[in-house]
Structure 1
Amino acid sequence: MKVRNSEFLNCLGFLLLFIISTYCSLIPNDWVNTDDPKDFGLLEGITYNIVHFVSEKNLVSVGDHVQVGVSDDNNSYQHWSLRKVEGKNNHVYNIINIGSGTNLDNNGKGVYVSSLDHDSNTNPYQHWIFMKIKNNTYNIANVRNESRSLDGSIDSNGKLVYISISNKNNSYQQWLFKPTNYKLITKVVDFNLDVNYGQMLTSNATLLRGNNRIENPTNAIIEQIIDRTEEKSNVFTLQIRKADSFEVGKHVDMTFEIGINIFNLINVKVGNNIGIEGKFSSTEGETNSETVLDTVSYHIQQKVIVPFHTSVIVTTIVDKVNILTPFTARIRITGKADRLSKSGTVVKKANIDNNAILYYLQRKNAKDLFLDKDFYYIKTNGTLGIDGYGFGSVIKTKSISGSTRKKPIILYQILFIILQFIYVVSTY
C-alpha cells in the first residue's frame, strides 16, 4: 500500500508541476501599445487572423514567403500572435506565426517568416509597431532603429505581400486583426425568482399506475403492503433575451445552474436534490432558450387494511405545479483560448487572463460588466417555466362496500334458476 501511495503522489506531483510550468510559461495577456494611447484593440499572447482590408484575404505564410489567401480556420500558418520585444520601448513587438513558431521577418522588400536559425527577439527586421486606422484595423510598420523612424509598412496588392513606404491612409497597407481559436464560457447563476409577478397553478396528480384494487372475498380482515417506486418527469424551460445575455455560437457557450434552494421555495421536487443545470442550444430569434427534463422518484410504502367481503381502491396523490415566473440572475464569464508560450509554441484551450476576457467581451458589445471575487459578471433576467411535481405524496383508500359479497349471491341465484328449469323439464 505504501508503494502504491508513493507512486500516486509522484504522479500527482508530476502533473501539478506540469500544469504550473505550462501556465507560468504563457505570455501574459497584456494590452498592446499602439500609436494611440487610448487604444485597447490588441492583446499579447492570443491568436489572430490578420486580414487585408482591401482583398479581405488572410495573411498566410507559404514556404519561403508570406502572401494573402482565402480564409482557412484549420491552417495554423494563417494564425498569428503578438509578443512584446524585451528591452525595447513599449511599442515594439514580434509577430509570431503559429504554424512555424517563428517571427514575421523582412529584408526591406519581401516579407516572410524567419527560419529557426535567424529567429531572434533582437533582430530589428523582426520588430513591428502598430498604427491605428480605426477599430481593430492597423498599419503594420517595421522599425529598425532606436528613433522608431519607420522603415516601411506591410503592403499587398491582393496577392503578394511586400514592404512599401509607410502611409496610414493607403488602404492596401491596412490590416484587420480578428481573434480566433477562443471560447467565452458563460454561466447563468445566482437566480432569484419573482413569484409574486408570476403565474402559479397547483393541482393533484396520481402516482400509482395500473390496477390498484384490492379485493377481500373472505370472512376475515386482511392486510396488504404496498411498496412501490413511481417516477414522474419535471419539465423546466428557461428563456433569456440575447440583448440581456449573449448570442450563443462559435465563440460563446452559455450554460445555467439553478440551485436546490430555489425549488425548495416553491415546493418543487428535483431528482438529484442539488438543482438543475443545462446548456443553451436553441438560439432562434431574439431569445436563448433551453428545456431540461428531470426525473423524480417517489417511494410509496403503505399498509392497507381491507374489511371482509369488501373491495378497496388505493390512490396516491402528489401536488402538480405549473409556474411561469420572471427571474433575475448573474452571468459569470470565464474563457479559454489558444495562447502563446514564451518559447513560441501554442498551448491549446488554455485559461485566459481577465484582460483577454474584457477584450473578447468588448467585441461582443457586452455592457455593465462588473468584477466580483476575480470573476467578471453581467446582470440578466428572463423567465422560468416549470411543469413539475411537489415533495410529499398522500395515500388514500376508498372502500367499495359489499361489492365482493354480491358476486356469490348472484351466482347462487343463477344456479337455483337452472335447477328449477331442469326439474320442470324432467317432470314434463
Structure 2
Amino acid sequence: MSANTPQPIGSSTAAADISQQQATFTAKGANPHLIKTIENFSVRPRWLFVRIETEGGVVGWGEATLEGHTEAVQGSLRDIARRLKGWDAMNIEDIYTYLYRHRFYRGGEVLMSAISGIDIALWDIKGKILGVPVWQLLGGKVRENCPVYGWIGGDRPSDVLEQAKVRKAQGFTRVKMNATESIGWLDSPHALDETVKRLAEVKSIGLDAGLDFHGRVHKPLAKQLVKLLEPHRPLFVEEPLLPGHPNEMKDLYNKTSIPIALGERLFTREDVRPYFELGCIDIIQPDIAHAGGISETKKIATMAEAYDIGVAPHCPLGPVAFAASLQIGFSTPNFVVCEMSWKMHYNVGADLFTYMTNPDVFAVKNGAIDLLMAPGLGVEINEELIRKEAAEASKLEPWINPLFRGDDGSVREW
C-alpha cells in the first residue's frame, strides 16, 4: 500500500502504518467491522442490489438502482469495491465523505447511485451490529407509521378507475398516476382533457391522487394543465417542468395553489438548494437510491424543514430502497408520504416482495406502513434467490425506458 493511498480516520500517511483504531479494536488486534467484500447483483425487474460483508460476517444490503443505467452504476461499484476493502464499515460519514469529495469529480446520477448503494448497506450493517433499527440511529422515531401511495394507470395512463378501486381494496388511501401520455412541446389543448377526466374519476371513489407530469409537459402546456387541474385539487403535481428550470418553476408556482413536488433527478444538497432558496416547490422527492443513500437523503430532509418543505421519497424501486426510505420517514418530522412499488407497472418478472422473506412488514394498513422494528433496515433478503436471479438476468438485456416519438418522428420526453 502506497503512502498516498486514502486511509480511514486514525491512519497516518506512512505506508507501513496500520490504523491504530483498527489494530486495537479487539484484544486480538482484529477489527470485525472492516469491509471484507462488496458485491452487486442486477435482478429483474430493473433493480441493482449491493451486498457488503464485514470481516466479522455481518451482511448489509443496499440498493443502487438507476433505471436504464445499470451497467454504468456497476462499473462505478467495481471501482468503489476496490477502494473500500479494509475500511471500517462503522465509519459511515467518513466513507461517504471520501466517496463524494475525495475523487475530484462528484455528483451526477451514476456516481451518486453507486454511493447510495454503499451507504444504505453500511447503515444496515451498523443497525445490525448495534441491534437497533436505522431510525433509532437517525434520532429516533417521530411517528408510528409512514403514509404510502401506490401507482395506477401505467406509463400511458388508462383504466385508472378500475385500478384505483383495486388500490383502495388493498388498503391505500392515496395513489399516483402519470398525468399524460407522450405529448408535444406545444400540443393541442384537447390533449389535456383526459388528464382532468382521470383525476375526477379517481377522486370520485374517495382517494387522493398525485399527478406525475414526469417532465413530459413543457412550459406552454404545463401552465394550462395546472389551471385545469386546480378545481379538482390533486394531492400534488410532480415534475411539472423538467429539472434545471428553477426560475420557470417559480413562475409556475406563483400561478397555482396545487402543491408542487420534484426531486427524483436532483442528487445532493447542492442540487436542491436553488429550488429551496427560490421557494418554488412544496415537496422535495429525493430518491434514496440516487441521492447518496440514507446519509445525504436525511441531510436534504433536514435542509428542507428549514424552508417548510415536505419530504416525499421517490421510490419506484425494490425492497431495500423502500425500507431505507421508510427509515427516513420514521425519523423525519417533515416527511409526508412515500412512493411504494408494490404491483407497479414496471415490475415485470419480479415484484416488491419477491426477494424478501418477511413481506409482512410492508403490509399497508389505512394507507400507511407500521414502524419497522428489526435491526438495520428491517427487511430480510433472500440471498440465494438473488444470486440465482442475477445469474439468469446476466443473460438478458438490461432494462431500458420506453422511447416516445411524436407523429413527426421526433423524440419526446419519457
TM-score bracket for the superposition, by shorter chain length: under 0.3
Structure with the higher fraction of residues in strand conformation: 1
TM-score by length of 2: 0.23
Bigger CA radius of gyration: 1
Structure with the higher fraction of residues in helix conformation: 2
Q: Indicate the structure whose relative CO is greater, using CA pairs within 8 Å and at least 6 residues apart.
A: 2
